[in-house]
Amino acid sequence: MKNKTVIITGAASGIGKASALLFATSGANLVVSDINEKEGEKLADEICALGGKGLFFRTDVAVAAEMEALVEFTVKTFGKLDIAVNNAGIGGEQNPIADMSIEGWQKVISVNLNSLFYGMKYQIAAMLNNNGGTIVNISSILGAVGFTGSAGYSAAKHGIIGLTQTAALEYSAQNIRVNAVGPGFIDTPLLNALDPKMKSQLVSLHPIGRLGKSEEVAELIFWLGSDKSSFVTGSYYPIDGGYLAK
C-alpha cells in the first residue's frame, strides 16, 4: 500500500476507523471523511502519530456536491486516487413498512444508497485519470436477506450490490475493480443504543456465537483494496459469523 491514496467515508468510528488505521500502518495516504468532525480530526491525528499520512475532510455523503469535493480534495492533495472505501451509513428508522415515515425512508435511502452512486460517480472519474483503481462498497448481510422493521436499510443494502456489479461490468476492462462487503452485526457504536437483551438476541443470530469486530471486517476490505485480489471484481463477500448459512 506504500504511497497508495485511499478515501474512506464514515471513517470516524467502527469499521471505517479500523480500516483507516490498517491502510495507514501499511503505508497508504489517507483522506478520512465523516460528518463527525471531532472524531474525524482525532483519527487523522492518530494516523499521523503512527507515522502515516492522514487528513480529515468533512463530508455529508448524502450531498452529491460534497462527495465531489471530497474526491477533488484528495486528488489535489495527493495527486491521484487509488482506493475508495464507501463505508458511511445509518441504521435508519425501525418500523414496519406501513408505519414507516416517508422522511425516514428517504433519509436512509439517501445516506445508504444515493451516497454510493455519488461516490462512485466521482471516484471512477478520478481513477480513469490514474490508469485504474479499486472501490470497496460496504453493504450488509441485509443486502442478501430481509429484516423485520428495516425495509429502507435492507433495500439500500440490496441496491449497493446491484450498483457494485454494474460498476464492475462497466469499468473492469479499464482496470477499475469494484466489490462489496456484507458484514453481519458488528460491535460498533451503531449498536450502542441497543439494550443488553436486544444485543444478546443479535448475538444469537450468528452461529459463531458472537458479534463481529471492526478489525475483522477491515482485513477483508484491505484485501479487496490490495493487488492480492487482482482477479476479484463484481463480487459480494459476506463476513457474518455464519448468519447467511442458516
Q: What is the pLDDT of residues 81-115, one digit of tens each?
A: 999 999 999 999 999 999 999 999 999 999 999 99
Tell me what pLDDT residue 18 has. 97
Is 237 marked active-site?
A: no
In SS3 terms, the chain reads as CCCCEEEECCCCCHHHHHHHHHHHHCCCEEEEEECCHHHHHHHHHHHHHCCCEEEEEECCCCCHHHHHHHHHHHHHHHCCCCEEEECCCCCCCCECHHHCCHHHHHHHHHHHHHHHHHHHHHHHHHHHCCCCEEEEEECCHHHCCCCCCEHHHHHHHHHHHHHHHHHHHHHHHHCEEEEEEEECCECCHHHCCCCHHHHHHHHHCCCCCCCECHHHHHHHHHHHHCHHHCCCCCCEEEECCCHHHC
CATH, residue 20: 3.40.50.720
Average pLDDT for 154-159: 98
Helix (H, G, I), strand (E, B) or coil at 224: helix
Tell me what pLDDT residue 192 has. 73
pTM: 0.95
Number of domains in the chain: 1
Average pLDDT for 175-181: 98
User: Residue 111's domain spans which residues?
Assistant: 5-245
What residues have CB less than 8 Å from 245, skipping those under 6 apart? 207
Cell 458479534 found at: 211
Q: 153, 171, 237, 243: which one is catalytic? A: 153
